[in-house]
Amino acid sequence: MDTKIVVFIFFVGAVSAGVIAPIAPVPLARVDPLPQYSYGYDVQDALTGDYKGHTEQRNGDLVTGSYTVVDPDGTRRIVDYAADPLNGFNAVVRREPLVVAAPARVVAPAPVVAPAPVVAPAPVYPRAPIFAPAPAPLLAPRFPSPYYF
């Protein structure tokens, strides 16, 4: 206990005397005043049915882009977006069918069928609840711990 007090007093004295060097300020990271980039990708995987794509461009604070995804219902969702400090983030979503619908065929009317006879439903009697006993719990064998003897 006495050692802790002595070390604490030494540390307080060293800090107040300025023996320990002050921490140097961390230089700020360089910030690009006009960030610019452009990227895109496209996935066409017939094996898994994964079809999607994305493009994006940035020029300063203006970001524009578009991405497409094939939804499970067979439509392609296209999202065009833009973001800037004045208007914020704005997106326009469109849907396009992937397959062209076949022209409608003219079908002859079905023959008229006589309705089925009406039959009274059978009476429903309340059933007694069925209870089964709970299964016995499974207990693992307990082995003595090698650490506690």
Tell whether 106 is covered by a domain: no
What is the pTM for the complete model shown? 0.47
Residue 137 lies in a domain: no
Q: Is residue 121 part of a domain?
A: no
Asked if 35 and 56 touch (Cβ cutoff 8 Å), the reply is no
Position 48, amino acid: T
Q: Is pLDDT above 90 for 59?
A: yes
Q: Could you tell me if 54 and 77 are in contact, meaning their C-beta atoms sit under 8 angstroms apart?
A: no
Contact 80, 91 (CB under 8 A): yes
Bigger pLDDT: 30 or 96? 96
- Which pLDDT value is given to residue 4? 78
Q: Which three-class secondary structure state does DSSP give residue 13? A: helix
pLDDT in tens, 94-117: 999 876 555 666 666 777 777 777
Q: Is position 45 within any domain? A: yes
For the stretch 132-141, pLDDT in tens is 666 666 666 6
Q: Which two tokens stand for residue 91?
A: 């997106």
Q: Which domain holds residue 42?
A: 32-98
67 is a domain residue: yes
Closest CA to 75 of 57, 93, 48: 93
Q: For residues 33 and 103, which has the higher predicted lDDT (pLDDT)? A: 33
- Count the domains in the chain: 1
DSSP string, 41-59: EEEEETTTTEEEEEEEEEE
pLDDT of residue 134: 66
If you average pLDDT over every residue of the chain, what do you get?
78
Domain assignment of residue 76, yes or no: yes
What would you report as the CA-atom Rg of the chain, rounded to the nearest whole angstrom? Answer: 38
Q: Domain for residue 143, yes or no?
A: no
pLDDT: which is higher, 2 or 52: 52
pLDDT reported for residue 48? 84
Is 140 within the bounds of a domain?
no
7 pLDDT tier (thresholds 50, 70, 90): confident
- What confidence score (pLDDT) does residue 13 get? 72
> Measured between alpha carbons, how far is 54 from 78 in angstroms, rounded to an integer?
10
Q: What is the pLDDT of residue 68?
A: 94
